[in-house]
Amino acid sequence: MSDKASKVRRYRGRTPEELRAERRDRLLDAALSLFAERGYANTTIEQLCSTARVTTRHFYEQFDGREGLLRDLLESIVAGTLRSAWKELLNEERDMTQRVGDAIRSVMLYLLKDPRRGRIVCLETIGVSRDLERRRRVLIHDFASLIEQYGGYLAGSGLLPLRDYRLPAVALVGATMELIQEWLNGGTDMDAEGVAQEAVLFFRALIIGAQRYEEAREDS
């Protein structure tokens, strides 16, 4: 490739693909701030572009509209929670029960330490559209599937009764989402760590309750 061709294909040392990726990241950062602070409904594409320092043409190169940006932001946040959870679930220095509790705590702290993330997942993506609500539920159920999977491991280890843990896992995730909403709306004086520990308490109560229920059935 000639020097002239190289200069044409790069801008300040970056390729067009790198520039597009940078603009996308800036738009996601702008959406995280503006959607959380002003609300999704009160944020315009022009405000997003101004904050991200991109043109509206560049915006539509990346997204089909505000909802598309919100959807991708939601997916990126949920991906971060899953990475956080897997890090704890794969920690072989902890027993299986501790790993699941640690994973729940890590997810809560990921969404609470930066409250903007919690607002996007638990507040700003609700009621936008049927398509986004379906996607939100799929992503939340991804985390429930993790809990269900490890519930199966606990059952296989004799720490939980053998049963289907899909619905308990969904219920546990729903409870944690409600806890986050309560915290974001000022319904508790607890700090982020305290709220995270409440979610872990729910998980431990699930284990103890399932064990005692099974024991009661056997004794009856």
Model confidence, pTM:
0.85
Say yes or no to pLDDT of 12 above 70.
Answer: no
Percent of the chain surpassing pLDDT 90: 61
Please tell me the total count of domains within the chain.
Answer: 2
75 & 38 share domain: no
Instruction: Give me the CATH number covering residue 180.
Output: 1.10.357.10
Q: Does residue 4 fall inside a structural domain? A: no
Closest to 78 (Cα-Cα) out of 129, 123, 139: 139
Q: Does residue 3 fall inside a structural domain? A: no
- Cα 163 to Cα 155: distance, rounded to the nearest angstrom: 8
41 & 113 share domain: no
Q: Per-residue confidence at 218, pLDDT binned at 50, 70, 90?
A: low
39 & 109 share domain: no
pLDDT digits (tens, 9 = 90+) for 100-136: 899 999 999 999 999 999 999 999 999 999 999 999 8
**What average pLDDT score do residues 54-74 get?**
96
Place of tokens 């280890």: 157
| pLDDT for residue 8 | 44
Say yes or no to pLDDT of 215 above 70.
Answer: no
Read off φ and ψ for residue 133, nearest 5 degrees. Answer: -65, -40
